[in-house]
Chain A
Amino acid sequence: MRPDSVAWERAAEVRGAADGWRRAGFIDEPTERAVQAIFPDPCVTPSAVWRVLNAGAVAAVILFSFGAFAVAVRGSSGAVQAGLLLFAVACLAATDRVEASPRLARRGAAGATAVLGAGFLLVGLALFLGETLRLRLDDGIDLLLIASTLAWAAGCRRWGSPFFAALAAASLFLFLARLPNGRLLWLLGGVALAGACARRLDASAWAPSHRRSAAVLLVGGIVAVYAAINAYSLDARLLESVARFSPDRGLRWPGAGVLAATANAVVPVAVLAWGVGARRTFLLDTGIVLAACSLLTLRHYVRVAPLWAVLVLAGVAVVMLALAVERMLRRAPGREIGGFTAEPLFSDERRQRALEVIPVVATLTPPAPVDRPGFAGEGGRFGGGGATERF
């Protein structure tokens, strides 16, 4: 990343924190202005709505321009490949220019050009490998995954996007899955990635966006480890199904089932313990998701009760757990236990609650009646989303 961009990001971090302090009522507006004067940020950072709008408009301009070019050359493979390369170079160069300008950086446009630039590059490479070099499909996929890993990793390093870090990790693990002993490589690669990134989460020498990318990679490493040892993934040979070399398809390690069952229970608990010990909420969130996956895996193999009973019991357990934790924290001295609190601190509580409307409405709205003019009399529907059920 450019040193200027890093400095702007650091100032934005401090100004963002000051905004939270003011919103929570701990400082007044003159104090916030004093903080802003000490930590000037020349960039304009619009709200998410404006950034998405900017990114969408830029993406429309680029994609329709490319569409015009592709139609003009009548889909000729060589010309399309050259066009993809040209558009990729133009987009990547534009990203670099935009990111260097405090007037234009962080407005959403750079994100769109960066994604499209890397996308054009990879699609162009895929066409080049498949249609010009006529490589075997397996060779082409391998080379494309390597290129994808490098492209997204370079993008993350240059422009500091955690999203690019996630794409790079996904490409890397897909490539590893295609190698012999892919499952073992996922396990080792996941441990190595998580270990390396855990040390960089708070590195003051790193830009804030690079630290966030490290957090994303850490989660990616943990998920890779879990996927490698998950009993269902092992049983269904999920990773082996994408392997290029699969002489061991069907081969089972001795005692793998027992190890996987044990690891299924141990990994989520270990991640949760890590999250509690390090007081990192993203690790706690990861641990909760992995625990849910382990319970689903358990339910797949051990059918102790019908599905509805499992859902009701799980629902009650989750609600009771949340209520118990909240009550415990609320009643503790200073409203905190071991550095955890249920208070909102400096987060924008009203904004979070406004955003909650979207998932609730999206999943719990009842469906529109299909046959409104008449009455079929064959039953209605209950709830919405996951709750939808006919009776």
Chain B
Amino acid sequence: MAGCDAASQGPMNPDVVSAIGRLRSAGVLTDGPATLFDRVARRQLVSLRFELRVLLYVGVLLLTSGVGGLVAAHHHEIGRLTIAGGIGLAAFACLACVIQTGLPFSWHAVESRHVAFEYVLLLGLLLLAADLAYVEVQFGALGPDWPYHLLVVGALYLAAAYRWDSRTVLGLALTTLAAWRGISLGLVHGGSGLDEARLRADGLLLGVLYLAAAALSVRLARKGHFEDVFANAGLLLLLGALVSGALEDRAMWTAWLVALVAVAGLVAWLALRLGRSLYFAQAVVAAYVGLLRLLFERPGSRSLAFLLAALLGAAGLVVVTAAHRRMRER
């Protein structure tokens, strides 16, 4: 650690430190804020907020994994009622803490008072969902309709997301509802192996529903800040279903492609009007991937197909550049 002393004595960001001095002498910054800015730039005051959040997330992940492992390894010895009761009690403790410390409901954004609030809520809901799943599997309350427990869990997440104003829990609710319809949106799960056509139809339906929810959130001013979570999940499902149809449906791929290009064009146009870059990006990428099928499907020179794909990419670049300029101007 030869460099330790040298490193700790120097300013963290020499450019900002010298700029603060210049701005102060030019009268742009007053002494009060400038002193604080200078402390932060010199690394005399450092925020651990991000590290604390990461630790809490990792802690929740470890805890839920451990509880899952316990249930898997010992559910015969411990007994079904004890396990169901134990997990339920832990979930209740977390949610009781959330209910006690949570701020009153509002249709607008509510900033939680504590950095751990969202993670305690998340842990409580995950444990509750696990408990419901365990009870369903062990006692078979829903019988052949057992996947409906995902609908119950998704609805529970949705209600909690609105009550405690959590975009994270809302994201979890939307993907859980998609899982109920057989669509895996998590990174760690593969496909469900269900009928592809049915999955596509479900994806389209859910995508449109989520997009409608996004529009209504803003229009009715009811949790308007949930818009991007709804809309991004909706676009992922809608465009994903259309791309899947264009790439994998042997009989109807042209119809899927036409629909994809039309929907992507509409989404890109709306994204430009609303100033939403992520929606625009999803539309452009989906349209490009779909159009590649058209280029490589046609008979003829493979080399020409590659060249046309490159030209299509160049056209995409022009569109992206123009769209960015237009969005900046707006």
What is A's interface to B at a CB cutoff of 8 Å? 10, 13-14, 17, 21, 26-27, 31, 34-35, 38-39, 44, 46-47, 49-50, 52-54, 56-58, 60-65, 67-69, 71-72, 194-199, 201-204, 208, 270, 274, 277-281, 284-285, 288, 306-319, 321-323, 325-326, 329, 336, 339-347, 349, 352-354, 356-370, 372, 374-375, 377, 379-391
Indicate if the CB atoms of A322 and B55 lie closer than 8 Å.
Answer: yes
Interface members, chain B 182-235 (any A CB < 8 Å): 182-189, 191-194, 228-229
Indicate if the CB atoms of B126 and A354 lie closer than 8 Å.
Answer: no
Contact A50-B22, Cβ < 8 Å, known A13-B16, A388-B68: no
Is B255 in the interface zone, CB < 8 Å from A?
Answer: no
- Closest residue of chain B to A292 (Cβ to Cβ) is B58
Q: Return chain B residues, CB-CB under 8 Å to A68.
A: 303-304, 306-307, 310
Q: Which 9 A-B pairs have the closest CB atoms?
A: A198-B3, A389-B68, A311-B66, A308-B69, A315-B63, A315-B62, A312-B66, A202-B10, A60-B313
Contact sample, A vs B, 12 pairs, CB 8 Å cutoff: A38-B23, A57-B316, A316-B59, A326-B115, A353-B168, A357-B229, A361-B168, A364-B186, A368-B179, A368-B184, A369-B147, A387-B68
- Closest residue of chain B to A381 (Cβ to Cβ) is B133
Task: Identify 10 new A-B residue pairs, CB closer than 8 A, beyond the known A279-B44, A353-B167.
Answer: A61-B317, A65-B306, A67-B306, A198-B3, A307-B69, A311-B66, A312-B70, A343-B47, A358-B171, A366-B176
Indicate if the CB atoms of B185 and A365 lie closer than 8 Å.
Answer: yes
Q: Return chain B residues, CB-CB under 8 Å to A384.
A: 186, 188-189
- Closest residue of chain B to A218 (Cβ to Cβ) is B3
Contact A360-B171, Cβ < 8 Å, known A61-B317, A198-B2, A319-B56: yes
Which of B99-107, B246-254, B256-264, B277-285 participates in binding chain A? B277-285
Indicate if the CB atoms of B15 and A14 lie closer than 8 Å.
Answer: yes
A21, B15: Cα distance in complex, Å: 16
Indicate if the CB atoms of B192 and A342 lie closer than 8 Å.
Answer: no
Indicate if the CB atoms of B16 and A14 lie closer than 8 Å.
Answer: yes
Q: Return chain B residues, CB-CB under 8 Å to A362.
A: 186-188
B71 contact from A27, A278, A281, A382, Cβ within 8 A = A382
Indicate if the CB atoms of B28 and A314 lie closer than 8 Å.
Answer: no
Q: Return chain A residues, CB-CB under 8 Å to B313.
A: 57-58, 60-61, 64
Is B12 in the interface zone, CB < 8 Å from A?
Answer: yes
Is B324 in the interface zone, CB < 8 Å from A?
Answer: yes
A239 → chain B closest CB, angstroms: 23
A278, B187: Cα distance in complex, Å: 37
Indicate if the CB atoms of A10 and B15 lie closer than 8 Å.
Answer: yes
B52 contact from A47, A204, A322, A383, Cβ within 8 A = A322
Q: Return chain B residues, CB-CB under 8 Å to A391.
A: 68, 71-72, 75, 134, 137
B317 contact from A27, A58, A194, A352, Cβ within 8 A = A58
- What band does the interface of chain B fall in when counting residues whose beta carbon is under 8 Å from A? 35 or more
- Closest residue of chain A to B64 (Cβ to Cβ) is A387
Q: How many A-B residue pairs have CB under 8 A?
A: 392
Q: Return chain B residues, CB-CB under 8 Å to A69.
A: 303
Contact A387-B48, Cβ < 8 Å, known A17-B41, A326-B115, A365-B186: no
Is B43 in the interface zone, CB < 8 Å from A?
Answer: yes
Q: Return chain B residues, CB-CB under 8 Å to A198.
A: 1-4, 6-7
Q: Return chain B residues, CB-CB under 8 Å to A343.
A: 47, 49
Is chain A's interface secondary structure helix, strand, loop, or mixed overall? helix
A306, B184: Cα distance in complex, Å: 31
Indicate if the CB atoms of B16 and A17 lie closer than 8 Å.
Answer: yes
- Closest residue of chain A to B55 (Cβ to Cβ) is A322
A201, B3: Cα distance in complex, Å: 9
Indicate if the CB atoms of B68 and A365 lie closer than 8 Å.
Answer: no
A386, B189: Cα distance in complex, Å: 11
Contact A367-B184, Cβ < 8 Å, known A64-B310, A202-B10, A311-B66: yes
Q: Return chain A residues, CB-CB under 8 Å to B140.
A: 375, 377
A204, B191: Cα distance in complex, Å: 52
B132 → chain A closest CB, angstroms: 10
A149 → chain B closest CB, angstroms: 22
Indicate if the CB atoms of A368 and B183 lie closer than 8 Å.
Answer: yes
Is B95 in the interface zone, CB < 8 Å from A?
Answer: no
A277, B9: Cα distance in complex, Å: 10
A132, B187: Cα distance in complex, Å: 42
Indicate if the CB atoms of A279 and B306 lie closer than 8 Å.
Answer: no
Q: Return chain B residues, CB-CB under 8 Å to A197.
A: 3
Contact A342-B49, Cβ < 8 Å, known A49-B281, A57-B313: yes
Indicate if the CB atoms of B281 and A52 lie closer than 8 Å.
Answer: yes
Q: Return chain B residues, CB-CB under 8 Å to A317.
A: 59
A53, B168: Cα distance in complex, Å: 25
Contact A53-B281, Cβ < 8 Å, known A35-B28, A369-B150: yes
A47, B275: Cα distance in complex, Å: 12
Q: Which of A39, A274, A370, A372 has the most CB of B within 10 A?
A: A372
> 0/1 per residue, B301-330, Cβ < 8 Å to A?
011101101101110110011001000100
A26 contact from B37, B288, B304, B317, Cβ within 8 A = B37
A163, B63: Cα distance in complex, Å: 33
A198, B175: Cα distance in complex, Å: 44
Indicate if the CB atoms of A202 and B14 lie closer than 8 Å.
Answer: yes
Q: Return chain A residues, CB-CB under 8 Å to B181.
A: 368
Interface members, chain B 4-57 (any A CB < 8 Å): 4, 6-8, 10-16, 18-19, 22-23, 26, 28-29, 33, 36-37, 40-41, 43-57
A53, B271: Cα distance in complex, Å: 15
A360 contact from B7, B67, B122, Cβ within 8 A = B122
Indicate if the CB atoms of A281 and B167 lie closer than 8 Å.
Answer: no
> 0/1 per residue, B118-148, Cβ < 8 Å to A?
1100100010011001101100100111110
A223 → chain B closest CB, angstroms: 15
A387 contact from B56, B115, B126, B176, Cβ within 8 A = B126
Indicate if the CB atoms of A199 and B61 lie closer than 8 Å.
Answer: no
Interface members, chain B 151-170 (any A CB < 8 Å): 153, 167-168, 170
Indicate if the CB atoms of B45 and A341 lie closer than 8 Å.
Answer: yes
